Amino acid sequence: MLRSDYSIRMYEWLKDEYNKHKRYNHNIEVVYKVDYLRDRFEIPKSYRWDNIKDRILDKAREDLLKHTD
């Protein structure tokens, strides 16, 4: 149901983070640097921050809210 590879990777990554921390707190905040996201999601170097936010993070967030737990 997820529309992009980035959404799938984001779901798997966040679900893994949730599973690591769920016994402590149900609300988890994850903060990463842009360079880490580039490496983790194999984002092309040509993407600027606004491209990453609009094309990857915002769309993945929309997909996750709509199609996942």
Region 11-17: mean pLDDT is 89
Could you read off the pLDDT of 25-63 as tens digits, one per residue?
667 777 889 999 999 889 998 999 999 999 999 999 999
Q: Measured between alpha carbons, how far is 20 from 1 in angstroms, rounded to an integer?
A: 25
Q: Quick one: tokens of 2?
A: 């997820």
Q: Is the pLDDT of residue 8 over 70?
A: yes
